[in-house]
């Protein structure tokens, strides 16, 4: 008996979570088993698929409901009046801007004209700031500022949105500074593209190259000459830690640029959420507990305290 397959978009895959049924790829007109039920797709694989523009899988028609409820359960957002009612005008505008920013970041992944794409990313980073400054001090539900990061494009938008939101709530109000912050955060992992390409052949080589992604990103931006000096420092320092345990330079305390400190907290928070399990709200609470507990030495103590307070209002 012949089986029917339906297309299942990469967008509806949750990296790190066991898939509920088999996934197939279509190769030369034939369906080839790619992963069986219970296996996972990790975020690097997800990124590689995006780079290669493999934007969908196939699933058996009979497994459609299993995939649908799997995806919906993990993506369910905590109850919030604006989310429940479909969103307030400002949350809809923010959502659109976030989607736009994601498309632009993904363009850099695919682009042969990276320079043009970077200019466009810088433009969307300004729109992101403008949207967020419309209601800067409201305690926004985090589900509106952060979706589940599947790959680097989602993650970059989350880190940028969260960084600007945190900065606004920490008292930063200068638009120029906020725009540097948004741009640096959107571009912070841009060097991963190079690492992914270079490490195509071996996971060990990828791990080795990954350590270089802050410098690779900075080099890429220097060559293209579009991003500000401030944005490039953010890219270079986003993995530096207060206690000196970070990389590439092992900077400590106030040797780390203030805006990079904010991006570093938003970055780790979003990574923890992406690496978590279950629905978004549970992942966010767990991530906050990790920041407050085992990871606290990595961040500037007063700034971390503020960040935890701000984020806790939204979960
Ligand atoms: Fe990074
Ligand atoms: Fe990151």
The ligand whose atoms approach the alpha carbon of 213 most closely is: 1
Residue 58 — φ and ψ, nearest 5°? -130, 145
Q: How many angstroms separate the alpha carbon of residue 29 from the centre of ligand 2?
A: 37
Per-residue pLDDT, 122: 92
Domain boundary assignment for the chain: 5-75, 86-312
The ligand whose atoms approach the alpha carbon of 159 most closely is: 2
pLDDT at 30 over 90: yes
Per-residue pLDDT, 162: 97
Q: How far is CA 308 from the centre of its chain?
A: 19
Region 86-312: CATH code: 1.10.3210.10
Q: How many angstroms separate the alpha carbon of residue 234 from the centre of ligand 2?
A: 11
pLDDT digits (tens, 9 = 90+) for 106-158: 888 777 677 778 888 999 999 999 999 987 676 678 888 999 998 899 999 99
The ligand whose atoms approach the alpha carbon of 271 most closely is: 2
Residue where the block lists tokens 């990574």: 271
pLDDT digits (tens, 9 = 90+) for 262-301: 999 999 999 999 999 888 899 999 999 999 999 999 999 9
pLDDT digits (tens, 9 = 90+) for 182-230: 999 999 999 988 888 776 677 788 888 889 999 999 998 998 888 999 9
Per-residue pLDDT, 84: 52
pLDDT at 15 over 80: yes
Banded pLDDT at 34 (limits 50, 70, 90) = very high
Q: How many angstroms separate the alpha carbon of residue 87 from the centre of ligand 2?
A: 28
Q: How many angstroms separate the alpha carbon of residue 62 from the centre of ligand 2?
A: 37
pLDDT digits (tens, 9 = 90+) for 83-96: 555 567 778 899 99
Per-residue pLDDT, 117: 83
- The per-residue pLDDT of the chain, averaged, comes to 90
Task: For residue 243, give the nearest of 231, 233, 256, 227 by alpha carbon.
Answer: 256
The ligand whose atoms approach the alpha carbon of 217 most closely is: 1
- C-alpha distances (whole Å) from 189 to each of 81, 113, 262 are 33, 18, 15
Rounded distance, CA 47 to CA 13, Å? 12
- Write out the two tokens for 249: 């330079």
């Amino acid at each position: 008996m012949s089986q029917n397959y339906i297309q299942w978009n990469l967008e509806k895959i949750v990296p790190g979570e066991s898939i509920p049924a088999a996934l197939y790829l279509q190769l030369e007109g034939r369906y080839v088993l790619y992963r069986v039920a219970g296996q996972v797709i990790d975020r690097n694989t997800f990124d590689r698929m995006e780079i290669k523009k493999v934007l969908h899988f196939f699933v058996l028609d009979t497994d459609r409901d299993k995939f649908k409820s799997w995806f919906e359960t993990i993506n369910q957002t905590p109850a919030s009046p604006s989310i429940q009612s479909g969103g307030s005008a400002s949350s809809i505008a923010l959502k659109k801007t976030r989607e736009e920013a994601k498309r632009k970041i993904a363009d850099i992944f695919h682009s042969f004209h990276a320079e043009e794409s970077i200019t466009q990313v810088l433009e969307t980073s300004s729109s992101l700031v403008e949207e967020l400054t419309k209601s800067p001090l409201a305690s926004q539900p985090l589900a509106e500022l952060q979706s589940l990061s599947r790959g680097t494009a989602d993650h970059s938008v989350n880190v940028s949105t969260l960084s600007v939101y945190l900065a606004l709530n920490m008292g930063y109000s200068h638009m120029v500074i906020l725009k540097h912050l948004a741009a640096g955060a959107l571009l912070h992992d841009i060097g991963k593209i190079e690492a992914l390409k270079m490490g195509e052949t071996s996971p060990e080589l990828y791990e080795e190259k990954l350590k270089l992604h802050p410098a690779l990103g900075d080099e890429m931006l220097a060559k293209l000459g579009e991003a500000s000096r401030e944005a490039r420092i953010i890219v270079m320092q986003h993995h530096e830690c207060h206690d000196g345990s970070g990389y590439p330079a092992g900077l400590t305390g106030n040797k780390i640029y203030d805006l990079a400190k904010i991006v570093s907290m938003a970055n780790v928070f979003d990574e923890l959420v992406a690496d978590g399990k279950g629905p978004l709200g549970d992942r966010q609470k767990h991530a906050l507990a990790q920041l407050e507990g085992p990871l606290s030495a990595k961040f500037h103590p007063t700034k971390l305290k503020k960040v935890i307070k701000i984020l806790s209002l939204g979960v």
